[in-house]
Copies of this chain bind each other. A is one copy, B any other.
């Protein structure tokens, strides 16, 4: 894609811009998240579990890491939303992932798939198994992961993506159409699509790639917002919240260690109005 034209859609921008979809009310989204405190069942990885839980708590949600095959389906009926992240799958947790996706769907609850390193064949199959069990609400990944999930080759090496988000946009739109879901592709500029509409989110800071599990935590935040918003709005609100908090955190930090601590602080400190004012969210026209 040689040129991307974007028209703003965030809270404070002109709602009449050509090609823009409905305004995404980030102020209302964050207010609602904090008012509702949704219970987010996380089936995530051993690297991200602690940070993900703290990100959710700071943002205003309640994490519950119920990720074994005996309880995953049952708990998905009680939680408000489910996150499935394939970062460190094992035989039992892999089974639990399909059970949880299916359980969430049966209960009418949203669920989010974060297909970490889906280019590896076993976990790629686990991700596909969850998709066969139930259409997700949102799929979140970097470009390599979205390409892999769509069956395309990529230059990714493990969880580190060498592709920019735009390289995966066609695959993202295809996945969104096929699974009737929203697909969010992370990168320096994030792209979020429901298969037709494409929204870009341009906040963030390079240190987000120097702290492990920030991408995993983004998937968890999307799950939390999906409990209180429409899917596209949820993916955009989560991305903007994490990236705006990261900008604020980086401004008061000096390196990745202090940045990670400040990021958790800022997820709690940023107000709904501050989020809406700082977010760089636009509709994209190819």
Contacts and interface: CB of A to CB of B under 8 A. Distances in A.
Interface of A: 39, 41, 45-51, 53-54, 57-58, 62-68, 70-71, 74-75, 78-79, 87-93, 117, 120-123, 157-160, 209-213, 254-258, 260-269
A65 B87 contact: yes
Q: Please give the count of copies of this chain that the complex contains.
A: 3
Given A39-B157, A212-B63, A255-B269, A120 B75 contact: yes
Contacts of A89: 68
Given A120-B75, A122-B70, A58 B255 contact: yes
A161 to B, nearest CB: 11
4 residue pairs, one from A and one from B, having the closest CB atoms: A257-B264, A53-B212, A64-B158, A255-B265
Contacts of A50: 46-51, 212-213
A142 to B, nearest CB: 13
Contact of A254 (B74, B120, B121, B269): B269
B79 A158 contact: yes
A160 B47 CA distance: 22
